[in-house]
Amino acid sequence: MVLLLTIACPATPPTDSEGTSPAEELTYYRDVKPILDRSCVRCHTDAGTAPSFADPLSVQALSAAISSYVQAGTMPPAAPDPACHDYENSDRYVLASANRETLLGWAEGGAALGDPSTQVDGPGVIPSIGPFDAELRGEPYQPEFGNDGNDYRCFALPVGNAGAVYLTGLEALVDRPEIVHHVVLFRPSSVSDSQRVPEGFSCSGFGQSDWSVVGAWASGGTPLTFPEGAGVPVEAGAELILQMHYFNSFEGADQIADQSGYGLLVADSVEREVSTMPFGPTGFSIPGESEAYEVTDRSRYRGADVDIVAAFPHMHQAGVGFHMTVESDPEQCVVDMNGWYFHNQLLPVFSDPVELKSGDRVSTTCVYDNPEAGAVSFGEETGDEMCFGFVWVVPSE
Ligand code: HEC
C-alpha cells in the first residue's frame, strides 16, 4: 500500500491497476449487508434487543465498533462450535472466518456504503414449522421489572388435549421480541391453583425441581422438530409451564404488554418417545476472585441406548465456557463453547444424532469467572449459578 501511494502522483486519481478501484473496495451494500443479515440481524433489528442495523447510515456510523467487537470475539455472541458437533443453522450463529475478514476489512478500508443497486441480501428469517395443531398462549402481560431489569414470569397453560398426545415439533411464538430475552417451556409434575392464574407467577432462575424442560428459545433460536415418528408424550388434559424472561433495556419497555406463547405440532401416536435428561454438576460453589474456575460432572449413563437429538447448555451470568462430551470409544463431542452470553442461550438441534449407550460416561464441564469477593453457589436464582446440559433423546433405532 505504502509503495503504491508513493508511486502515485498526487495530482492523478488512482486507477484500477493500482488496486484502489471502487470495484474492489468492500462496500456495505454488496459485501457487508449479506453478512449482517446472516449473523447479526436476529438481534440487531428494529424489534430486537440490540441497536438496529436496519439503516445503512447507522451501520456505517458503527463501523469502528463493529470492527472492535468482532475482533474481540464478543460479537456475534458465543455459540456452540459446529466443529464439535454440527447443528441446524450453525452458519447463522458462528461467523465464518472469511466473513469476519470482510467485516474487518470493510471497517478498516473506510466503511464505504457503495451503490444501492448492488445490494445483496443475506438469508431471511428461519422459516416457521406452522401451521400448528395447538397454540399455547396466556393473557397479555405487562412485565414488572426488578431493580436488575429482569422479570421471570411463568404461566400455566393447558394444551387442550382430550386424550394423550405427543409433541413432534415446538416453536416459540415471540410476540414482543424487544423485551423477551428467553422463553422456556416446561412439563411440570403438577400445577397448583395459585399458579393457575391469568397474570402468571414469579419464577426466577430455572423453574422448579419437578419441572422438566421441553423447549427453549433465545433470539434467533430455531424451532425444535424431532426425527420422523418421535415425540414428547403429554397426558390428557395436560398443562405446560411457559417461562418468560423479560428484560428492561430501553425507556418505555415497562409499558409493553406481551403475549408470547408456543406453537405445537401434535401426533396421536409415535414410534419413539422423546425424553429429556439433565447432566451436569450440582451443589458446587465458585470461590470469590476466581478466573476460569471449572466444575465437572462425569456421570455414567445407565439405560436403554439412545440418540441425543438436541442439547441445551445452561448457565447463568458468571459462565465463560461450556463443554459436553460422551466418553465413548471414540469420544463424541456434544457441545463446545468457548465464551458464554447469558442472553444467547441456544438449543442446538443436531444434524446427526450423538449415540449414548448404557455404560457411557457423560462429561459436563462449566467454566466460570467470579471477580467478586464472595463465593457464588449453585442455585436457581439468577445470582446463583447452574451448570446443566439438558439433552433430548430418542431410543436408538
Ligand atoms: C444474540 C444477539 C446478538 C447477535 C446475534 C449479535 N449481537 Fe451485537 N449486540 C447485541 C446486544 C444485546 C447488544 C447491546 C448490548 C451490548 O453492547 O453488549 C449488542 C451490541 C453490539 C454493538 C455495539 C453497538 C453500540 O451501540 O455500540 C456492535 C458493534 C455489535 N453488537 C455488532 C454485532 C455484529 C457485527 C454482529 C454479527 C456479526 C452482532 N452484533 C450479532 C446482541 C447481538
pLDDT score recorded for residue 13: 39
**CA–CA separation, 315 vs 275, rounded Å?**
21
| Region for 271 from its dihedrals, namely left if φ exceeds 0, alpha if ψ lies in -120 to 50, beta otherwise | alpha
Residue to mutate, 32, 41, 42, 44, ligand 1, most ligand atoms under 8 Å from C-beta: 44
Cα(269)–Cα(267) distance, integer angstroms: 5
Which residue's CA is the closest to the ligand 1 atom numbered 5? Answer: 40
Q: What are 335's three cell numbers? A: 457441545
The residue that leads in pLDDT, 130 or 204, is 130
Report, as an integer, the average pLDDT of 40-49.
83
pLDDT in tens, 77-105: 999 999 999 999 999 999 999 999 999 99
Find out whether 220 and 93 touch, Cβ atoms under 8 Å.
yes
Give the mean pLDDT of the chain: 90
- Cβ of residue 113 lying under 6 Å from some atom of ligand 1: no
Q: What is the pLDDT at residue 120?
A: 96
**222 pLDDT higher than 50:** yes
Counting from 1 in the atom list of ligand 1, the atom nearest the Cα of 66 is 29
**Which pLDDT score is estimated for 7?**
37
Q: Can you tell me the distance from the alpha carbon of 328 to that of 380, in angstroms, rounded to the nearest whole number?
A: 31
- The CB of 34 under 6 Å from ligand 1? The reply is no
Q: Taking 50 as the threshold, does the pLDDT of residue 155 lie above it?
A: yes
pLDDT digits (tens, 9 = 90+) for 344-392: 888 999 989 999 999 999 999 999 999 999 999 998 777 789 999 999 9
SS3 content of the chain, % helix, strand, coil (to 5): 15, 35, 50
Instruction: Tell me, in angstroms, the distance from the centre of ligand 1 to residue 355's CA.
Output: 35
| Grid cell in block for residue 25 | 473496495
Bridge partners, residue 151, by sequence: 246
User: What is the model's pLDDT at position 306?
Assistant: 98
3-state secondary structure of 192: coil
Question: What is the maximum alpha-carbon separation in the chain?
Answer: 83
Sorted by sequence, the CB contacts under 8 Å of residue 153 that are 6+ apart come out as 141, 143, 200, 201, 202, 203, 243, 244, 246
- Check if the beta carbon of residue 87 is closer than 8 Å to that of residue 348: yes
- Is the CB of 309 inside a 6 Å radius of any atom of ligand 1? no
Average pLDDT over residues 3-16: 38
Closest ligand 1 atom to residue 95 Cα is: 38
Residue 52 is predicted with a pLDDT of 94
Cell of 351: 444434524
**241 burial level (CB within 10 Å; 0-12, 13-18, 19+):** buried
Average of per-residue pLDDT across 22-32: 86
Q: Give me the pLDDT at residue 4, please.
A: 39
Q: Which of 2-6, 23-27, 305-309, 354-358 has the lowest mean pLDDT?
A: 2-6
| Grid cell listed for 200 | 402468571
Rounded to 5 degrees, what are φ and ψ at 125? -65, 155
Q: Are 298 and 363 in contact (CB under 8 A)?
A: yes
Stretch 61-65: mean pLDDT, rounded? Answer: 98
Q: Ligand 1 mean position to 25 CA, how many Å? A: 25
Task: Spell out the domains of the chain, with CATH numbers in brackets.
Answer: 2-118 (no CATH), 134-271 (2.60.120.310), 275-395 (2.60.120.230)
**Above pLDDT 90, what percent of the chain?**
77
Residue 79 CB less than 6 A away from ligand 1? no
pLDDT-derived band of residue 55, with 50, 70 and 90 as boundaries? very high
pTM of the model: 0.87
CB-CB contact of 346 with 311 (8 Å): no
- Which residue's alpha carbon is at the smallest distance from atom 33 of ligand 1? 75
Give the span between the Cα atoms of 239 and 187, in whole angstroms.
8
Specify the pLDDT at position 5.
37
Q: Which range has the worst mean pLDDT, 9-13, 222-226, 368-372?
A: 9-13
Q: Report the C-alpha gap between 9 and 17 in whole angstroms.
A: 14
Percentage of the chain modeled with pLDDT above 70: 93
219 lines ligand 1 (CB under 6 A): yes
What is the torsional sign of CA 246, 252, 257, 263? negative
Is the beta carbon of 73 within 6 A of some atom in ligand 1?
no
Task: Find the 44 Cα to ligand 1 centroid distance in Å.
Answer: 7
Over residues 6-19, mean pLDDT: 39
8 Å CB contact between 378 and 369: no
Q: How confident is the model at residue 226 (pLDDT cuts 50, 70, 90)?
A: very high
Average pLDDT of 207-224? 84
pLDDT tops 70 at residue 29: yes
Answer whether residue 42 shows pLDDT above 60: yes
For strands 349-356 and 388-395, give the pairing.
Answer: unpaired
Q: State which amino acid sits at residue 156.
A: A
